[in-house]
Chains A and B, each alone.
Chain A
């Protein structure tokens, strides 16, 4: 009797023991998984930290030798090991500005077309096509630019432009020299085609955050379509549009392959945008594997650091602006 009572008490205790063990194992597994995921999240931060640290580390020799003069010097001489970043920075900025000047109006036009004018049946197919094009690797745009666009511009477009502006002061400086085909203007044009799908699809997404009621009330008091876009859609989406454009600018600044094929790789700042130039990314892509000597390699890494700093700032601004429109959409 007493034995039976004892065993009946002991049994659940044993069961509870194994149960405790299982729970303990669950708890350990739980903690391990939590720590694992958290470590990976922190690793993403470390990745960025690692990029910044290694670039700074790699650029120390060049910065020690040239100091801040590196930013303004136009020299690029591997033989005497004298380097400067000015032509590459200039080329990077000017090609991106050309790209934005062409792609922003076109991209906004496409977005307006997709959200306001396009027949419903075509909206999804065209929208999807634009998004698919945004994913095409940039090297495709590059070889198209080199084999198709550059010869076309050289034969048919650039001579005409040079002739038209030959007697216009200032502009004849901007559009002068022999028509090379390749050069800063061509690179800017290729970049503009490349970022066009990106700008269009972001602007379309941003336009779609406008509440229909707002637009309908404007139409209701007799606004034309243009007036609705100008006075309702544009102010409502302004911040998001600027964010999207900055994102495209970030892409254009750092783009390598689309530019390298057609930029001409000339380390000089020429007044004519038809002439060859270089960008930071094109310089690195063209010369890094062939660079011998610590100073040459280090100068190229310093260029990379500059590019990273510029795009980091542009992309940060873009994220902050886009975050604002996202919270607006959620409201």
Chain B
């Protein structure tokens, strides 16, 4: 009896030890990545990164055109994608909460949320680059917009579902038409959550590389023209990291650090906003 008990206790201890060990291994691996990123990133980071254009092979320079390109395309991507996603999410949470359409859209949307972004890039290539005959920042923005949509749909629906029904009933009882109830009551009550969703969407697309490779392509020079190829931080990182030139590799690390910091800042802000909402 006591032998059996001892065996059971040992087995449990061994299993739990393995769990602690796996947590240790996982966290150490991720810590290694962050350490390498910060080490190489900060050693490559200087003022020139923000003030100079991407250099030709084998010379020093900065990432200014890539940073601006990323900002422009992310801005337009969110500008196109966010309203579409928000209205779709509104329909799912407000008008068709139990309808068949909502169930189907939710299912499809969850698949789009995890679908390979490179395939979205191929799709946008087919509908824009092939039609226009050349790569362009517009195509890049559209590709990013299609990645924004599922994130925003998901958070909008979730957040509006959290708004208490009694709020809507009170507004309806005052004679407010349904669309005004949604716009002036439900949206206001869910505002923090909606902003959280938007920030998460920006975080999601700001590091996306694959769909930009053959939509916006790349541009070594300063360009803000929307119908011309445009540089973006991830694509420049991809190109520079694979190059044999030391200066380019350094810039790739610096760019990687910038993206990571931006994404972390966005997701932490989103998290803080979300926490404020739930604690209220």
Contact = CB atoms under 8 A, between A and B. Distances in A.
B8 interface: yes
B260 interface: yes
A54 B125 CA distance: 10
Interface string A99-119: 000000111111011101110
Interface of B: 8-9, 11-12, 15-16, 18-23, 25-27, 29-30, 32-33, 36-37, 40, 83-88, 90-92, 94-96, 101-102, 104-105, 107-112, 114-120, 122-123, 125-127, 146, 149-150, 153, 177-180, 182-183, 200, 203-204, 206-210, 213-214, 217, 234, 237-238, 241-242, 249, 252-253, 256, 259-260, 263-264, 267-268, 271
A33 B119 contact: no
Interface of B is mostly: helix
**Dominant secondary structure of chain A at its interface with chain B:** helix
Interface residue range, chain A: 35 or more
Contacts of A197: 30
Interface of A: 26-27, 29-30, 32-34, 36-45, 47-48, 50-51, 54-55, 57-58, 105-110, 112-114, 116-118, 126, 128-129, 132-133, 135-144, 146-148, 193, 196-197, 200, 224-227, 229, 247, 250-251, 253-257, 260-261, 281, 284-285, 288-289, 300-301, 304, 307-308, 311-312, 315-316, 319
Interface centre among B21, B40, B114, B127 (most CB of A within 10 A): B114
A307 B116 CA distance: 8
A54 B177 contact: no
Nearest to A112: B19
A229 B178 CA distance: 48
A315 B203 CA distance: 22
Contact of A132 (B32, B252, B268): B268
B115 A308 contact: yes
A53 to B, nearest CB: 9
Contacts of A55: 119, 122-123, 126
A50 B84 contact: no
B179 A29 contact: yes
A317 to B, nearest CB: 11
B10 to A, nearest CB: 9
28 contacts: A30-B178, A34-B95, A37-B91, A40-B83, A40-B87, A44-B153, A48-B108, A51-B119, A51-B123, A54-B126, A55-B122, A55-B126, A109-B21, A112-B19, A135-B203, A138-B209, A140-B256, A147-B36, A148-B36, A193-B29, A224-B11, A256-B116, A288-B122, A288-B213, A311-B116, A315-B111, A315-B115, A319-B110
A226 B10 CA distance: 10
B209 A30 contact: no
B114 to A, nearest CB: 5
